[in-house]
Structure 1
Amino acid sequence: MSEIPEVLFVCVHNAGRSQMAAALLDHHAAGRVRVRSAGSAPVESINPAVAAAMAEAGLDLSREFPKPLTDGAVRAADVVVTMGCGDVCPVFPGKRYLDWRLPDPAGKPVAEVRPIRDQIDALVRDLLGELLPPDI
């Protein structure tokens, strides 16, 4: 792993789960982890219910946008976390792959996105604990 670990979150549209995971990890890591997100079939904009749920948690996604998954992004990452992108995500030797099975927030109201956000937050915190052991 590089000096500063890099994590790539991937979902299909890069409009929901991967955006939430990236924002949450970036927030909790406070600059100690490089974070990216991408989609195997990105859409035009972030899911509004996802943006609203994240705003409730104090995280602003208004400047974020869905990005396409590239081989370069996967190559640069130490850890690749997939969330429903299936077999589309390229696999490279030496990378750590995690598959987080989470409900897709697409088409769901904010009330149904909150529990997904909270589930992602718990997973992100666990991952951060693995990437950055506590200082002694």
Structure 2
Amino acid sequence: MTEPAATRPTVLFVCVHNAGRSQMAAGWLRHLSGGRVEVRSAGSVPAEQINPVAVEAMLEEGVDIRAEKPKVLTTEAVQASDVVVTMGCGDACPFYPGKRYEDWKLDDPAGQGIDAVRPIRDEIRGRVLTLLTELGVPPVHA
């Protein structure tokens, strides 16, 4: 049973192109939370499409992010989120007092082959599991 939106925490993942790391993180959080967390992702300079290697790496784990599209970061998205996770977007990410911010230092999968993207994917999964624990949301998949 899905909880009402008012009680669900909202998490926004932000990276520059919204094509790799933030999309993988959003995919993991949707998958692992079973809909108990509202998930958003955006980029300060969105790419034309999601990194196909990131899509492939996630499909290997049964998480399908093929339908996602890079989106531009808006102040409204930040203001509507409980937690904002940045991934290498630096000063391009707006800051609002009272929001919880985390900066995840992760390698950029752009231009990398699948063997280089798998460890990034796996590290993101671990961080998403930690975030779920901190939000008090037990993962639906271990």
In the alignment, structure 1 residue 32 sits paired with structure 2 residue 16: no
In the alignment, structure 1 residue 109 sits paired with structure 2 residue 113: yes
Which residue of the other structure, out of 5, 8, 13, is the alignment partner of 2:17? 13
The alignment-based identity, stated in percent, is: 62
TM-score (norm 2): 0.91
Amino acid aligned to 2:61:
A
Distance in 1, matches of 2:25 and 2:94, equals 19
Unaligned runs of 5+ in 2: 1-5
Distance in 1, matches of 2:65 and 2:30, equals 12
Distance in 2, matches of 1:35 and 1:132, equals 15
Moved over 2 A (4+): none
Distance 1:133 1:32, change over 3 A: closer
Query: Aligned-pair RMSD on alpha carbons?
Result: 0.9
Distance in 1, matches of 2:75 and 2:41, equals 13
Query: Do 2:33 and 2:137's aligned partners in 1 also have CA atoms closer than 8 Å?
Result: no
Partner of 1:122: 126
SS in 1 for 2:40: strand
Distance 1:133 1:20, change over 3 A: closer
Distance in 1, matches of 2:97 and 2:64, equals 34
Which residue of the other structure, out of 55, 60, 73, is the alignment partner of 1:56? 60
SS in 2 for 1:107: coil
SS in 2 for 1:93: coil
Distance in 2, matches of 1:10 and 1:133, equals 21
Query: Do 2:13 and 2:42's aligned partners in 1 also have CA atoms closer than 8 Å?
Result: yes
Partner of 1:92: 96
Distance in 1, matches of 2:63 and 2:124, equals 14
CA positional deviation for 1:42: 0.2
Unaligned runs of 5+ in 1: none
CA positional deviation for 1:106: 0.2
